[in-house]
Amino acid sequence: MELIFWILAFMVVYVYLLYPLFVGIPGMMKKSAPAPDPDITPSVSLIITAYNEENVIREKLENSLLLDYPEGKLEIMVVSDGSTDNTENIVKEYADKGVKLYSEKRAGKTTAQNNTVGKAGGEIVVFSDANGMYKKDAIKKLVRHFADETVGCVCGELLYSDSPENSAGVENLYWKYERFLKRMESRCGTQLGAAGSIYAVKKELYVPLDRDLISDFTEPLKIYEKGHRVVYEPESLSFEKTSSSTSAELRRKVRITTRGIHAVFAVKNLLNPLKHGFFSIQLISHKLLRWLVPILLILLFILNLLLIHKSLYCMLMLVQVLFYLLSLAGLITEKTKYDLKIFSIPFYFCMVNFAALIGWYNLLKGEKETTWDTSR
């Protein structure tokens, strides 16, 4: 029983601390790749997927029209996934500026993207969310990597633009951690997944996906499967505001995790290290084991209770209980002036893992979280 306890504890530590070292040390030792060609300007189709985004779609279109890209080479396409508010009427106001609107029946983001890519005229397709505001040179920074013919997908960087205090600060801390992993994984060969707010693929390599799969995670995996690299471009920036409430953020994470777990099983052949080497280790460590952490934590707690008669395990139980009490305090104080990092970090950790636990529960129930609601 003790051996099982320490194996489970090692797995949790491996996911959050040892794997970043495992990928980070060789990543930092590798020299940065030569600067991509800044002068290539292939034709680009910017596909903005929207569902009931009347509050942000005008700002997004104004932002897109001001992007620094050669005239005539940027096509702006908005696909409405069955919006029932004023989103489509607002988009129609921009028809004379070349913005194209495509109305779909409510079927989810992945289906909307599948149906729109075939209509895109660009050599490169850039996918964006309606609330993602791009830095002026974002697309230029993305497409310059396609000068390398081995590159099939380029992932930009998502930053949160609201206050770094409170929950937004913890979310930003989480994304700094994720950015480090992306940078190191990209240096080691290829990175996993993308930020749905900003990533680009060669149109000829795009793989239509099942509606149940999360596109920004699965599409890069499919492109890797075709023999092309997925690279990270930290200077291509998209800015978003954090979710309006903890419950909205939790729902978003549950949806992403549920669909992500489905995606891993859809490309389970990539989990074979004998065939895919280091990439499989990345996929298992960064994604599959990360999503299994809540189950590991529950098992650890149960085993700790069974071993509590020994002094070492009594101390470890006190540490666990204290951590979860701090998380509870974070839940209680998150919207108050007492929302300190000593509370908010444990709370955010528990929320992320609770979302993953619901993701596994949804998998067992057969729920797939195909459609989404805006959390704004």
Render pLDDT for 41-50 as a digit per residue (tens, 0 to 9).
999 999 999 9
Which pLDDT belongs to residue 335?
65
Residue closest to 113 by CA, chosen among 5, 222, 249: 222
**Integer-rounded Cα radius of gyration of the chain:** 21
**What is 212-234 written as a DSSP string?**
TS-HHHHHHHHHHHTT-EEEEEE
DSSP 86: S
DSSP 192: -
- Domain span including residue 181: 1-376
- For residue 71, the SS3 value is coil
- The model's pTM is 0.85
- For residue 131, the SS3 value is coil
Which pLDDT belongs to residue 165?
42
Which pLDDT belongs to residue 333?
79
* Number of domain units in the chain: 1
Residue closest to 113 by CA, chosen among 50, 158, 60: 50
Q: Using CA atoms, how far apart are residues 124 and 122, in angstroms rounded to an integer?
A: 5
Q: What are phi and psi of 152, to 5 degrees?
A: -115, -20
Which pLDDT belongs to residue 371?
65
Q: Are 323 and 353 in contact (CB under 8 A)?
A: no
Looking up residue 90, the CATH number of its domain turns out to be 3.90.550.10
The token duo for 197 is 């707010």
Contacts of 272 (CB under 8 A, 6+ apart): 280
Which pLDDT belongs to residue 173?
73
Residues lower than pLDDT 70 in the chain? 27-35, 161-172, 243-244, 335-340, 368-376
Which pLDDT belongs to residue 132?
93
Q: Using CA atoms, how far apart are residues 326 and 331, in angstroms rounded to an integer?
A: 9
